[in-house]
Amino acid sequence: MEDALNNATAQRLMPHLSVQRNTTWERLHFPASPSGETNVTPGFKLAARSSFKKTWLKFCPTDDNGRTQWFLLVQLPTDIRVNGRLATTGLVALQERDEISTGQGVAFFSSEQLPQLSTYRGEEAIHCPRCRLKITKESTVLVCPDCDSIYHQAGDFECWSYGPCVMCKRDTNLENASYRWTPNEL
């Protein structure tokens, strides 16, 4: 089951940077490759005269629980700062809501996920936390982005949409799904 959970989770990992454009914040998503390395497109502009050059986001599983750590890798010398501190080593472990700046522009890192449908790939059946019925291989499921609980979400069994997540109480309204945090809250 752990492998199936890790596969379902890995399929939806997608960090993003929130970048201010005029008065609104735009989310720039960076899908992870199978190797886990995510390239922030060289030349990506935070502002008219500043860009990330030779900069990457990379994630690595950090323990047996499938937790993921994102790293910012930059070529030295650099003017990139994370939370006001110059990235002097070229490697910075990122956390939610870290501010990444180049002196000309600012972005905020987040790995927060929206709920997404996926296919359960586990060889062994597991039980849905809502209805307690089995979820079998190739079933359409939804993985809670906060706690990784796996729910039925197809046909007569739209268990995710029935109410708050049984495990963490996250709102499960798919029609109005939105990110919980934006830089506007700063």
pLDDT tens, residue by residue, 139-148 = 999 988 888 8
What is the structure's pLDDT at 83? Answer: 94
What is the structure's pLDDT at 70? Answer: 79
pTM (two decimals): 0.67
- What Rg do the C-alpha atoms of the chain give, in angstroms? 18
Q: What is the DSSP string of 44-102?
A: EEEETTEEE-SEEEEEEE-STT--EEEEEEEPSS---EETTEE-TTSEEEE-TT-EEE-
Is the distance from CB of 140 to CB of 159 less than 8 angstroms? Answer: no
pLDDT band at 55 (very low <50, low <70, confident <90, very high): low
pLDDT tens, residue by residue, 121-138 = 889 999 999 999 999 999
What is the structure's pLDDT at 31? Answer: 59
- What CATH architecture does domain 2-110 belong to? Sandwich (2.60)
Question: Which of helix, strand or coil describes residue 10?
Answer: helix
Q: Does the CA dihedral 2-124-14-146 come out positive or negative?
A: negative
Q: Does the CA dihedral 33-142-67-110 come out positive or negative?
A: positive
pLDDT band at 59 (very low <50, low <70, confident <90, very high): low
Is the distance from CB of 74 to CB of 87 less than 8 angstroms? Answer: yes
Q: Which of 13, 11, 17, 10 shows the shortest CA–CA distance to 55? A: 17
